[in-house]
Amino acid sequence: MVVLNTQKAANELLDKRGANYQDRPRFVLFDVMGWGLTLTFLPYGPRFRLHRSALQTGFTKTAITNYRPIQEDEARQAVSRILKRPEAWDFSLRRLQHARRWGWAIKNLHDIPFSAIKKEFDAGTANPSFAYSLLTKYKENEDEGVPNEFTLQDIQGASGAVFIAGSNTFTRADSVPQTFATTTIAILNMMLNPEVFAKARAEIDRVVGTERLPTFQDRPNLRYIDYLVEEVSRWRPLSPIGIPHKSLEDDVYNGMFIPKGTVVYYNTFAMSRDLNVYKDPEKFNPDRYIPKEEGGDGEPLLVGPFGFGRRVCVGRHLAQASVWIIMATLIATTDILKPVGPDGKPIEQTIQFSTGLSSHPGKLDVVFKPRSEKAERLLAEAVKDAQ
């Protein structure tokens, strides 16, 4: 086993020599749980290349722009729900209530969404989606008598990977949605760092104003919100030690022999705390990414949260976009504050993070208040128009 603790080592092995480190060890439990045909856990081979190609095509930076209206609508609905029931804010962010038992829960995550889409597809009522495009191609090939490389089982597995990535983390039965976990960490830091919140809001007010809600068209001019989302991933990586790779052939790195079949972990948490790269790494500081020529530290974005090489998360652009629009909408419309005790003083909380392949925060008490009546009205109108 090899553990890579720096971005430099991970880049040199998993990126530059990615062809040799694109395999996975066998995840026996995950196979039993029904994840065998998801891209994340597929071993290297023809099926892996087929799934990776299909998913990469569906989730390029250009392709994900098709989902922007949905993401904007979901963000506005989520924030609207939070303001209606602020005491249940965490449930308002969830789109899927996770189950407590592994086997049937994972089977349902694969089977139920695909079955529903397949039924709508056959009836001609399905909305455009990743699964829809694969099913369309499958049917066209069938009608033309062309052999399908992608079987219905492959389509189901690939679609399940997308659904699980958007709904649940991959390691625990009591896991939480990835977007939910990342957004929760962002909210935590908005509560703990009011100066960061104020700077983010000031940028939104300058670019967007207060007469409308933020949209993805504003993103090029809301660079600080981008930095904020990147800092969330660095400050508390959701997968601290990543999903292991496996070497396909013998290799030598810095005089060290790495035999064929070696399991290789990339320690994202160690990379995020590398004092040679990040100044004061425990501090939540989006300003660290401002280029040096603009007066900032010019520190690099952390790569590890989305993996390396040929195993990098193909849905990373979509995931970050979801967090970006949720946070932009929250900051524009909502005050995020610490709860106050009977003595009138803010309550300081000890936040616990889970450990293991996946890490996410525990229970967090936050006060949400509408920024203004105008902000509430803008949200209400946006939600009403979308219905």
Per-residue CA distances from 370 to 128, 162, 220, 379 (Å): 34, 33, 26, 10
With respect to residue 155, please indicate whether it lies within any of the assigned structural domains.
no
With respect to residue 276, please indicate whether it lies within any of the assigned structural domains.
yes
pLDDT at residue 203 in the model: 98
With respect to residue 157, please indicate whether it lies within any of the assigned structural domains.
no
pLDDT at residue 104 in the model: 35
- How far is 64 from 76, CA to CA, in rounded Å? 19
pLDDT at residue 32 in the model: 62
pLDDT at residue 189 in the model: 97
pLDDT at residue 191 in the model: 97
> Containing domain of residue 362, as a range?
2-98+168-386
- How far is 306 from 57, CA to CA, in rounded Å? 17
Binding site membership: which residues? 313
Phi, psi of 51 (to 5 degrees): -65, -45
With respect to residue 152, please indicate whether it lies within any of the assigned structural domains.
no
pLDDT at residue 103 in the model: 39
With respect to residue 132, please indicate whether it lies within any of the assigned structural domains.
no
- How far is 220 from 203, CA to CA, in rounded Å? 12
Q: Are 135 and 117 in contact (CB under 8 A)?
A: yes
Report the candidate in 178, 95, 131, 193 with the shortest Cα–Cα distance to residue 358: 178
With respect to residue 219, please indicate whether it lies within any of the assigned structural domains.
yes
pLDDT at residue 176 in the model: 37
With respect to residue 92, please indicate whether it lies within any of the assigned structural domains.
yes
- How far is 122 from 335, CA to CA, in rounded Å? 46
pLDDT at residue 171 in the model: 33
pLDDT at residue 3 in the model: 97
pLDDT at residue 114 in the model: 65
Per-residue CA distances from 81 to 15, 77, 88, 178 (Å): 42, 6, 9, 19
Prediction pTM value: 0.81
pLDDT at residue 272 in the model: 97
pLDDT at residue 98 in the model: 36
Q: Are 73 and 386 in contact (CB under 8 A)?
A: yes
Binding site membership for heme: which residues? 313
CB contact set of 175 (below 8 Å; sequence gap of 6+): 98, 168, 169, 358, 360
Give the residue ranges of the chain where pLDDT is below 70: 29-37, 95-117, 126-130, 157-178, 386-387
Q: What is the CATH number of the domain that holds 295?
A: 1.10.630.10
Number of structural domains in the chain? 1
Per-residue CA distances from 155 to 76, 115, 148, 151 (Å): 31, 11, 11, 6
Please report, as a single letter, which amino acid is at residue 368: F
